[in-house]
Amino acid sequence: MAKEKWVVGIGEALWDLLPDGAKIGGAPANFAYHAGQFGLKALAISALGDDALGDETEKVLREKLDIYMERVPFPTGTVNVTLDGKGVPHYEIREDVAWDNIPLTERLTDIARESVAVCFGSLAQRNPVSRAAIRAFLAAMPEDAMKIFDINLRQHFYGREVVENSLELCNILKINDEELAIVARMFEIDDLPSDEQCRRIRACFDLDMVILTCGTAGSHVFADGVESHFPTPEVAVADTVGAGDAFTGAFCAALLQGMPIGRAHERAVRVSAYVCTQSGAMPPLPPELAR
């Protein structure tokens, strides 16, 4: 992999308003941050409001990673996050905010042409403006680029059209067990066991890989001729915010650095478990994990 090529997270940029205070969040920045901890040239793309929270977002994120976030005449995004008794987050996501309005610029297209991997989700495609920018970004990427659809179904902000179109545009699907149940109903394969659902989706959309995470019940990777399964380590959970993004970032970095799927999967599991022991989505990894 050429060192000068970008690994990009594109989509929402927001503040998670957690019980213990506000923390910068959004899956794209979380993904890019964790991929960058393994030495990759990582970038988060979104949009910010021309407001105090936008200023703070830019300040905080620039201390952690490279960003490209145009200012737009909408408020910077926020999410009210409450945690249940097991530390699992529940989200109330503000609508009509900056990241719903990512502008399609010449700079965005230039970055796409110089990118080796991208991670995108369904949430940031709830608005036609950002949806068009994300799809244009994917179209401008090199043909052999890694395009990860981390489906990220939230509240009512998704539909079959966005999911199906994204599956057609990606070559790797990352999905959790709750999301798989929803997608399986969409495509009328909910009578099959979950592993067969993943194989069916992979075959139907000609995907290189489907990654299924099942919380404490482990995770699975389905690829051509390779299936990898790992249990979830037992750890003292602070919260699970960003753990899935850390998994994806670590897994992507490992593949780009030439690791076989099994080793990449093992790294992703260990990184995700560590993030669960920390508060917030972007803790620095200890050296033994980031090597």
What pLDDT sits at residue 63?
Answer: 94
Rounded to an integer, the average pLDDT of 187-196 is 97
CA pair distance 54, 59, nearest whole angstrom: 9
Domains of the chain, first to last: 6-279 (3.40.1190.20)
The mean of the pLDDT values for the chain is 94
**Beta partners for 227?**
222
Structure confidence at residue 11 (pLDDT): 98
CA angle 168, 29, 113 (to 5 degrees): 50
41 has a pLDDT exceeding 60: yes
In the block, residue with structure tokens 């690791």 = 259
pLDDT at position 116, please? Answer: 98
CA dihedral 19, 21, 24, 26 (to 10 degrees): 10
- CA–CA dist 107, 127 (Å, integer): 21
- pLDDT score for 1: 47
What's the length of the chain? 291
- Distance (Å, whole) CA 103 – CA 92: 24
pLDDT tens string 70-109: 999 999 999 888 888 887 778 789 999 999 999 999 999 9
Q: pLDDT tens digits, residue range 222-263?
A: 999 999 999 999 999 987 878 999 999 999 999 999 999 999
Radius of gyration (Cα) for the chain, nearest Å?
17
Q: Which residues contact 194 (CB under 8 A, 6 or more apart)?
A: 177, 180, 184, 212, 214
**Residue 3 pLDDT > 70:** no
Mind spelling out the 3-state secondary structure of 114-177?
Answer: CEEEEEECCHHHCCHHHHHHHHHHHHHCCCCCEEEEECCCCCCCCCHHHHHHHHHHCCEEEEEH
Predicted TM-score of the model (pTM): 0.93
